[in-house]
Amino acid sequence: MSAPFTVSVPVRYRDLDPLDHVNHAVFATYLEIARTDYLESVVDIAAEEISFVIANLEIDYERPIVKGDEPEVSLRVSRLGDSSCTMTYEIRVGDDVAATAETTMVYIDPETKRPAPFPDEIREPIAAYEGLETMA
């Protein structure tokens, strides 16, 4: 099995809160950085063409991230359904796991603004990258 898609996320001072930790809501933004990079890199979708909505987000926080850390976010598409998919994430600082997470996203037809099956130009590159079956 190939290595998951991984990005480095530089910690910004603005990410910190009064506890000197990266604020917990910013973890969701770190996941989004990995996800938008994945969509651009694997599926060739630019940010302004993103046509997904997040249906569910779950994050387990294992340890704080502080300024000076160099977090990496890795993600896999762990389920590729008809019109939705699930991504699983790990945020690591060195060898430590800072958080694990999962998002479920639903594809929205840009015309009708309603959930719709993934078009092939989205489904196929994800399936190929992840080594997943492309059944609906």
Q: Could you say whether residue 112 binds a copy of itself (CB under 8 A)?
A: no
Cα–Cα distance, 83 to 67 (Å, whole number): 38
Residue closer to a copy of itself by CB (options 48, 133) is 48
In a 3-state reduction of DSSP, which class is residue 84? strand
- What does the chain come to in residues? 136
Which residue of 46, 133, 135, 136 would you call a contact of a copy of itself, by CB under 8 A? Answer: 46
Closest contact distance (angstroms) between CB of 135 and a copy of itself is 26
One-letter amino acid at 86 equals T
Q: How far is CA 94 from CA 71, 90, 91, in A?
A: 7, 12, 10
Question: Which backbone phi and psi does 22 adopt, to 5 degrees?
Answer: -60, 125
Residue closer to a copy of itself by CB (options 25, 128) is 25
One-letter amino acid at 46 equals A
Q: Could you say whether residue 36 binds a copy of itself (CB under 8 A)?
A: yes
Instruction: Report 47-76 residues binding a copy of itself (CB under 8 A).
Output: 47-48, 50, 53-61, 64, 66-68
Task: Kindly list the residues in this chain that would bind a copy of itself in the complex (CB under 8 A).
Answer: 10, 12-14, 16-21, 23-26, 28-29, 32-33, 36, 46-48, 50, 53-61, 64, 66-68
